[in-house]
Amino acid sequence: MLEDARDRVAAALRCTAREVVFTSGATEANNLALFGTARALRRMHGALPRLIASAAEHPAVLAPLRLLQNEGFPLRLVPVDACARADTAAMEEEARGAAAALVALQWANNETGAVQDVARAGALAGTGAHVHMDAVQGFGKLPWSDALESAGTFTVSGHKIGAPKGIGALRVADGVALDPILVGGGQQRGRRAGTEPPALASAFACALELALAEQPAFAARARAHCELFLAAVRASGLRFSANQPAEEGSRLPNTLSLTLHGVDGRALLPACDAEGLDLASGAACSSGAALPSAVLLACGLPESLARATVRVSLGPSLAAAAVREAAERFVRAARRLYEVADR
C-alpha cells in the first residue's frame, strides 16, 4: 500500500518514486528542505550558502530560515509589492553574487493569493542555486507549472487538498544533497527516519489525484464565487480595498484579502465570528493570533490597516447561495463596526 501510494504521488508530481519523501505535513517538509539542503551545501562547499527568500513567505519557511541565520548563514529577504508578489529580479541579483545559494519561493501567497513568478525563480537552478518551492497553496487551485519540475525541492500538503491531516510530501530531485533532520532509522533512503503511515499515504495519493483532475472545474467555480462575494461588498458601499492582484491568473481563484478602512481592526474578527463567519486575519495556522499579519506588513500596510484585514477562502463545497449569504453577513458585521466608529 505504501509503495503503491508513493508511485501514485510520484506520477501526480511528475517525478520518480525515489524522489518522493512522505512527511507529517508541509511544515515538516519545508523544514526538511531548508535545514537539509542548507547544511548539505555548507558541507559540500565548505562555506555557508546565501539564503534568499521573499519577506512574505509562510512562517513554515521563514522560521527555519531565521534559525539558520542564527547559526551564521547569511539571509537576504527581498521585498514584495502591495499584493505580496516577490521581487524575483532581486532574487536573481542576490543569487548571482553568491558562491552557493538556496532560494525559497512560494507558488502562491497563502494570504493575498498572489501567484509568484516561479518560472523566473526556477530558472536560477540552472545557475547552480538550489531552489525550493512551497507549492502548498497551488495544488488543486492552479494549473500545473513546469517550474516545479526545475526546482530542487518542493512541498505539498495533504489536508489542503482533502486528505487527512498529518500527511504531506517533499519532492527531492535526483542529485540533490539533503541532510536529514530526523534520524534513527533508514526509511525513505535515509532522508526521513520514522515509520511511514500507509493509510495516510494512500489517502494523500487519492486526494492529490482528485485535486489535479478537478482543478479546472474548481478554479472556475471558485473564481465565480469570489466575484459574487466582491460584488456584494462593492454594492454595499463599504470603504474597503482588495490586496490581491486584479489580473485573472495572477491570483488564487478562491482567496480574497480585504481591508476595511476606518474601523477598529481589533473588533473585526469577533464581529465576523458573531455572524457565523469562519475568517482569518492572516495565515490559517495563526488565525487565533493577536498580532497583525506579517505578510501585510511586508506589503507596506500600516499596522492599523493590517489589523482591519480579513482573509476569505472559499472551499469546494460552497454553493453560490451560501457565498451570497456569507457576503451579506460580512457586510452586516462591518456596518456595526462603522456605527461604533461614527459615535
Q: What is the CA radius of gyration of the chain?
A: 21
How far apart CA 11 and CA 314 sit, in angstroms, is 28
Sign of the CA dihedral 123, 170, 83, 236? positive
Distance CA 53, CA 76 (A): 7
Enumerate the β-bridge partners of residue 323.
none
Which one, of 236, 237, 226, lies nearest residue 313 by Cα? Answer: 226
Catalytic residue among 15, 83, 285, 299: 285
Active site residue 299: no
**SS3 readout for the chain:** CHHHHHHHHHHHHCCCHHHEEEECCHHHHHHHHHHHHHHHHHHHHCCCCEEEEECCCCHHHHHHHHHHHHCCCCEEEECECCCCCECHHHHHHHHHCCCCEEEEEECECCCCCEECCHHHHHHHHHHCCEEEEECCCCCCCCCCCCHHHHCCEEEEECHHHCCCCCCEEEEECCCCCCCCCCCCCCCHHHCCCCCCCHHHHHHHHHHHHHHHHHHHHHHHHHHHHHHHHHHHHHHHCCCEEECCCCCCCCECCCEEEEEECCCCHHHHHHHHHHCCCCCECCCHHHCCCCCCCHHHHHCCCCHHHHHCEEEEECCCCCCHHHHHHHHHHHHHHHHHHHHHHCC
Catalytic machinery residues: 285
